[in-house]
Amino acid sequence: MKVFISWSGQRSKAMAGALKEWLPLILQYAQPWVSDKDIGAGDRWAQAIAGELESSNFGILCITPENLNSEWILFEAGALSKSMQDAKVIPLLFGLELSDLSGPLSQFQAIKVDEQGMLDVAKSINEVSENKAAEATIEQLVPALWPQLEGKLSEIPKKGAAEKHMRPQTEILEDLVSQVRGLGSRMREVDSELAERASRTPMPRFSSVHPDVLSELLHRGSEYFGPGGNYPLVMAAGYIRGRMPWMAEVLIEAHREMSNASPKQLHETASQLHEFVEFSLHGPMSEKLVASTKYRSGLAQALHEAIERAVEACKRKKEALTADLLN
């Protein structure tokens, strides 16, 4: 059974390594996976992570005070919760209280790293495993082997490194496209029984608000905010947030990145956004999300327009700043 362990930052990384060694001592069938150790030289790491996400049955997020708001932790938390069917994701808190957790991570049931907490983690993993261990055995092994894990955790420095684990927006977008492609592949391979079950439970559709409304709002926005107003991606994110929250988050992050991007970075981000929109609305399983081909085409066109307007707005803003400096 695969257990995906997510980390961000040096203390979180050390914690993940300790868990990787300790969990199989409690649950012999467990196969923990930690990205820094299990991706071989020459492997494209984004694809390797996408593959592990698809094949994992359980996810553990190693949360420390330093990475509480880490973009990478939040990204993997979202990917884990969306890619795992009948799986569980647990934020494991090290040096934090349960009350410290807020934002997106608060939707998960967090556990503190102590003896009782690790007993709960082991039991939770065992619950979703096909080859369950006897609960009495787990209740004996965890107290007996907890000092070993506690010793490893005590060796982790009390204060984390000052730098924050940050990833360029273009890299996040590239990884997200890779993740979605991997999920699309998994969906195509779903067995006939699950496909039949899905057909009996229709997914909710988009609001009846036509994409032309978004196009009109984008056009009107230029009148209110001016030609250099950096609003298009934020407006588009608000339009799709109710049914496509993952795309809304990508658009918001791209908006922030574009605001301070160089011309080259600006076009790279825009290019990857275009690709992501096309795959999301014309790729595998897109009909499950939006039944109407006409609606999908209209929405894709509106989102492409928002991306191009955002690029132009950023260019005009930079040109205006340059002119002010020269004057």
0.85 exceeded by the pTM?
no
Co-location of 145 and 64 in the same domain: yes
Q: What is the pLDDT, as a whole number, of residue 51? A: 66
Q: What's the total number of domains in the chain?
A: 2
How many CB atoms within 10 Å of residue 292? 12
Q: pLDDT value at position 47?
A: 56
Model pLDDT, residue 177? 54
The CA distance from 47 to 53, in Å, is: 10
Query: Which residue range is the domain that position 82 belongs to?
Result: 2-154
Q: Are residues 225 and 273 in the same domain?
A: yes
**CA nearest neighbour of 130 among 60, 30, 59, 197:** 30
d(CA 13, CA 252): 28
pLDDT of residue 138: 95
289 part of a folded domain: yes
Q: Are residues 107 and 178 in the same domain?
A: no
Residues 93 and 9 in one domain: yes
pLDDT in tens, 123-181: 999 998 888 999 999 999 999 999 999 999 999 988 644 444 454 555 555 555 555 55
Res 173: pLDDT: 54
Per-residue model confidence (pLDDT) at position 235? 82
**10-residue stretch averages of pLDDT, the chain, 327 residues long:** 87 93 95 67 50 75 84 67 63 89 76 94 92 93 95 85 48 53 49 48 49 76 60 82 81 84 85 88 70 80 89 81 63
The pLDDT assigned to 291 comes to 62
Query: In this structure, are 257 and 134 located in the same domain?
Result: no
Based on the fold, state whether residues 11 and 131 are members of the same structural domain.
yes
